């Protein structure tokens, strides 16, 4: 019997993933260890939208406040340049096309951390240690990047999304089978705001967190209280893998959502798309609102308010400190 095309693709993808995983598990392939540098991977099993970036920001902030020399290693998904880059939030920053949207967001929100962008994370780790004297780096989206050995494997799980149908790409949302979770040393759970399907048993210690809006940032960069736009008409603009959580956040903030314009994750907004957004928002007398990640891809002069998210650790602060080497 012939397999449906999507099932055949999922089966073929899974075969490759399992073979590669087995080679690492049996030590036939080895991750490079960069001596003298603590490496903490922050990743996930799902494709996109689990809340990994706020987790990286929170951990980087903890390390910086503790006086550690911290860096963030990231591929810079969607960027046009292939040249490795490095910068901090206090430098003159590259464009989103050069660096990718997430590296720019990380640098802006945590200027104490050095961001290193490139495909070869082993090279970036050596550079972080040798050139900048960093003590610890966060390997952004690193769970599947086994070429670089790590001291901790933090896996982010969105309780609201769970693991979908439990199937591998493209039949489901998973990059690896659920059995890969046995490699995790710590699970970062993003608690669901409403009732959600129960997660399967997770084979390791867990930190429970809640994501909540901490401020509005206006087009001039000024921060305002979370209730600053309560009752006001807004137009939502986003390019996200799972925009539902953004729209729920807007409703929690008490705004009047007049219209939305949603695009794929990391979408490069065109001038015509933004003109359309501005015209539709003006028709409703609404402010354009967006996410921090989307805001870094907007051209200078395009007026939009940004929701700033923060993380509250509900349980497991001691586990986090131990994983970061702070206790």
The Cα 237–Cα 246 span in angstroms is 10
H/E element, 10: helix 5-25
Q: Which residue has the tokens 């899974």?
A: 14
**How many C-beta neighbours within 10 Å does residue 130 have?**
12
The reply to whether 51 sits in an annotated binding site is: yes
The reply to whether 212 sits in an annotated binding site is: no
Reduce the DSSP state of residue 143 to 3 states and report it: coil
- Bridge partners, residue 187, by sequence: 155, 206
Residue 288 contacts residue 234 (beta carbons within 8 Å): yes
The reply to whether 89 sits in an annotated binding site is: no
Q: Rg of the chain's alpha carbons, rounded to an integer?
A: 20
The reply to whether 48 sits in an annotated binding site is: yes
**How many C-beta neighbours within 10 Å does residue 188 have?**
29
Kindly give, in sequence order, each residue whose CB lies less than 8 Å from that of residue 215, ignoring residues fewer than 6 positions away: 223, 224, 225, 226, 308
Residue 310 contacts residue 211 (beta carbons within 8 Å): yes
**How many C-beta neighbours within 10 Å does residue 327 have?**
11
H/E element, 104: helix 101-109
Annotated binding residues = 46-53
Annotated binding residues for ATP: 46-53
């Amino acid at each position: 019997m012939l397999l449906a095309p999507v099932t055949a693709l999922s089966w073929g993808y899974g075969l490759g993933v399992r073979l590669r995983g087995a080679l690492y598990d049996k030590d036939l392939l080895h991750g490079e260890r960069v001596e003298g540098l603590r490496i903490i991977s922050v990743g996930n099993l799902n494709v996109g939208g689990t809340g990994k970036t706020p987790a990286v920001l929170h951990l980087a902030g903890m390390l910086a406040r503790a006086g550690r020399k911290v860096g963030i290693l990231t591929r810079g998904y969607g960027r046009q340049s292939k040249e490795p880059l490095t910068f901090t939030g206090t430098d003159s920053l590259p464009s989103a096309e050069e660096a990718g949207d997430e590296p720019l967001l990380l640098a802006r929100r945590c200027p104490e951390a050095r961001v290193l962008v490139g495909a070869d994370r082993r090279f970036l780790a050596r550079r972080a240690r040798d050139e900048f004297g960093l003590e610890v780096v966060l390997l952004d989206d690193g769970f599947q990047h086994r070429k670089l050995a790590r001291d901790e494997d933090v896996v982010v799980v969105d309780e609201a999304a769970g693991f979908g149908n439990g199937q591998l790409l493209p039949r489901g949302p998973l990059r690896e089978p659920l059995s890969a979770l046995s490699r995790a040393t710590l699970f970062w759970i993003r608690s669901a705001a409403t009732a959600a399907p129960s997660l399967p048993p997770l084979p390791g210690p867990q930190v429970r967190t809640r994501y909540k809006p901490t401020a509005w940032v206006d087009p001039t960069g000024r921060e305002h209280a979370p209730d600053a736009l309560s009752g006001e008409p807004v137009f939502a603009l986003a390019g996200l893998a799972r925009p539902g959580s953004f729209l729920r956040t807007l409703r929690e903030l008490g705004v009047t959502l007049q219209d939305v314009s949603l695009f794929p994750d990391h979408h490069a907004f065109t001038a015509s798309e933004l003109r359309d957004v501005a015209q539709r928002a003006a028709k409703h007398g609404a402010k354009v609102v967006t996410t921090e990640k989307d805001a870094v891809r907007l051209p200078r002069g395009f007026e939009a308010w940004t929701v700033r998210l923060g993380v509250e650790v509900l349980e497991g602060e001691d586990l986090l400190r131990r994983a970061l080497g702070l206790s």
